[in-house]
């Protein structure tokens, strides 16, 4: 005989589950909005709040949402202490080495704050966003932010708004750059969002409901990248697609489909590279994306000269480095047209050599070790994001950008979600 008590228990449990579902839905929607606030605010580095010192609104949004995520994780005892303490501890180590350095430095405190506070914050938040918002919602945030950044960049190119635009010298302002500091930063962010969107959808088997709309979005992103006149993005995108075909091994129920698409991406990348080369050859001489004369000039008088001098300087302090802020202190006296660096330039073009120059072999190992730790997970997201970041950072100082660390954290979080089977949401 079934007692009334035994009948009421499942009913009570079912009612409890029904009550929790709307609450979970609302929580994920709130985290989706919070993720958008961070990602979009970071696309506007020129917008700052004056509070004794200038603070970017993107960094404020990052700190605020990180605080909320950490409070939630502390309450639920789900803090990812390992990654958080590792990145923060390494940041403290590098900062201590910099403070002890006796070489001349400019704006050292800016770097110390970044490595001890901003970068660990970005990395941890990226690690947790997938769990907090859910895969489908986070993909939507990434794609909406990508569309908003592209459309805003086009608008600002035609109608500059002083509050949103960082003014650059005329000879550096030919390409599309929108609210970013420069064209290369726009291209870097657009490509990173594009890679993350594509990899997440393939990894989790989340096909777009309107394929034509996504085709339009990706076309808009690639068009903005082309209009930025940045060359590195194409090498980085091809590198990310090739890495997917070579390194990805699958890790969930969508692995077989993702592996097929990884090979297709490699073919698409090769075909795209050929078409891009043909387009470059078709352009008039003064409008070409790349020319032999341009490459020779960069090697002799710009990036090549800076890299050769950097290598000599690394030899002076190969283990401990010269400290954060040394690059601007040393290169600030060089005419820009001779060496490609000058007053106000805080990093050299190669992010990893830059960190080696500043923080010695310890900094170099830290930078590559962080990439290797994420890449070792071998999820599609980690492979494509790490490959893209690595290629881009060898030609541009993007490792100092919050997006670099945020998306590394996201890639690590995506790999963890694959291992635990949490591929939906």
Query: Is 10 part of any domain?
Result: no
Say how many residues make up the chain: 425
Position 387 pLDDT exceeds 70: yes
pLDDT at 3: 44
Query: Is 13 part of any domain?
Result: no
Quote the number of domains for the chain: 1
Percent of the chain with pLDDT over 90: 52
* Average pLDDT over the chain, rounded to an integer: 85
**Of 115 and 294, more confident:** 115
Give the Cα separation of 359 and 212 in Å (integer): 47
Query: 221-253: buried (b, 16+ CB within 10 Å) or exposed (e) per residue?
Result: bbebbbbbebbbbbebbbbbbbbbbebbebbbe
Query: Is 123 part of any domain?
Result: yes
**Taking a C-beta distance cutoff of 8 angstroms, is the pair 80, 130 a contact?**
no
Question: Two tokens at 305?
Answer: 């000269």
Residue 286 CB neighbour total at 10 angstroms: 6
Query: Is 165 part of any domain?
Result: yes
With 0-12 / 13-18 / 19 or more C-beta atoms within 10 angstroms meaning exposed / middle / buried, residue 327 is buried
pTM listed for this prediction: 0.89
pLDDT at 115: 95
pLDDT at 123: 97
Position 341 pLDDT exceeds 90: no
Q: What is the pLDDT of residues 208-220, one digit of tens each?
A: 888 888 899 999 9
Range name among 97-111, 152-166, 295-309, 401-415 with the lowest pLDDT average: 295-309
Pair type for strands 53-56 and 48-51: antiparallel
DSSP letters for 409-424? HHHHHHHHHHHHT---
- Three-state DSSP string of 305-332: HHHHHHHHHHHHCCCCCCCCCHHHHHHC
Phi, psi of 55 (to 5 degrees): -120, 125
Query: Is 360 part of any domain?
Result: no
Query: Is 183 part of any domain?
Result: yes
Q: Give the DSSP letter of residue 180.
A: S
**Of 288 and 205, more confident:** 205
Give the Cα separation of 398 and 392 in Å (integer): 7
Angle 380-393/232-247 helices, nearest 10 degrees?
Answer: 150
Position 368 pLDDT exceeds 90: yes
Question: Two tokens at 8?
Answer: 């009421």
Query: Is 321 part of any domain?
Result: no
Give the Cα separation of 391 and 231 in Å (integer): 12
Query: Is 316 part of any domain?
Result: no
Please, which residues have CB within 8 angstroms of residue 82's CB and are 6 or more apart in sequence? none
Q: What is the pLDDT of residues 248-298, one digit of tens each?
A: 877 666 666 777 777 878 888 888 888 888 877 877 877 777 777 776 666
Q: Once rounded to an integer, what is the mean pLDDT over residues 193-198?
A: 96
pLDDT at 13: 46
Give the domain extent around 412.
27-287+377-420
């Amino acid at each position: 005989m079934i007692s009334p008590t035994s009948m009421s228990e499942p009913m009570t449990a079912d009612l409890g589950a029904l009550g929790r579902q709307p609450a979970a839905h609302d929580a994920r929607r709130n985290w989706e909005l919070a993720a958008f606030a961070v990602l979009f605010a970071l696309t506007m580095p020129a917008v700052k709040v004056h509070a004794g010192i200038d603070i970017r609104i993107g960094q404020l949004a990052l700190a605020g949402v990180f605080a909320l995520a950490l409070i939630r994780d502390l309450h639920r005892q789900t803090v990812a202490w390992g990654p958080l303490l590792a990145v923060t501890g390494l940041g403290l180590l590098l900062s201590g080495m910099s403070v002890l350095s006796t070489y001349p430095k400019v704006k050292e405190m800016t770097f110390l704050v970044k490595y001890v506070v901003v970068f660990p914050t970005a990395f941890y938040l990226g690690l947790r966003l997938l769990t907090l918002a859910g895969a489908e919602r986070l993909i939507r945030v990434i794609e909406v932010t990508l569309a908003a950044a592209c459309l805003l960049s086009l608008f600002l190119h035609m109608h500059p708004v002083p509050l949103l635009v960082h003014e650059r010298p005329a000879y550096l302002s030919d390409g599309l750059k929108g609210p970013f500091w420069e064209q290369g930063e726009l291209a870097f962010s657009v490509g990173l969002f594009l890679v993350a969107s594509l990899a997440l959808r393939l990894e989790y088997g989340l096909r777009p409901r309107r394929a034509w709309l996504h085709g339009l979005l990706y076309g808009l992103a690639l068009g903005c990248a082309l209009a930025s006149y940045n060359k590195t993005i194409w090498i980085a995108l091809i590198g990310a697609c090739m890495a997917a075909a070579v390194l990805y091994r699958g890790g969930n129920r969508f692995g077989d489909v993702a592996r097929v698409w990884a090979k297709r991406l490699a073919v698409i990348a090769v075909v795209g590279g050929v078409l891009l080369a043909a387009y470059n050859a078709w352009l008039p001489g003064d409008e070409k994306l790349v020319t032999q004369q341009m490459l020779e000039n960069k090697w002799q008088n710009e990036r090549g000269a800076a890299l050769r001098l950097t290598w000599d300087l690394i030899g002076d302090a190969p283990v401990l480095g010269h400290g954060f802020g040394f690059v601007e202190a040393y290169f600030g006296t060089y005419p820009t047209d001779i060496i490609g660096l000058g007053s106000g330039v805080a990093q050299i073009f190669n992010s990893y050599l830059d960190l080696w120059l500043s923080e010695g072999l310890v900094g170099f190992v830290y930078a590559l070790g962080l990439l290797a730790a994420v890449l070792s997970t071998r999820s599609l997201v980690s492979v494509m994001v790490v490959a893209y970041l690595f290629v881009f950072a060898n030609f541009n100082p993007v490792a100092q950008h919050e997006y670099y660390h945020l998306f590394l954290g996201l890639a690590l979080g995506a790999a963890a979600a694959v291992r635990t089977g949490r591929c939906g949401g």
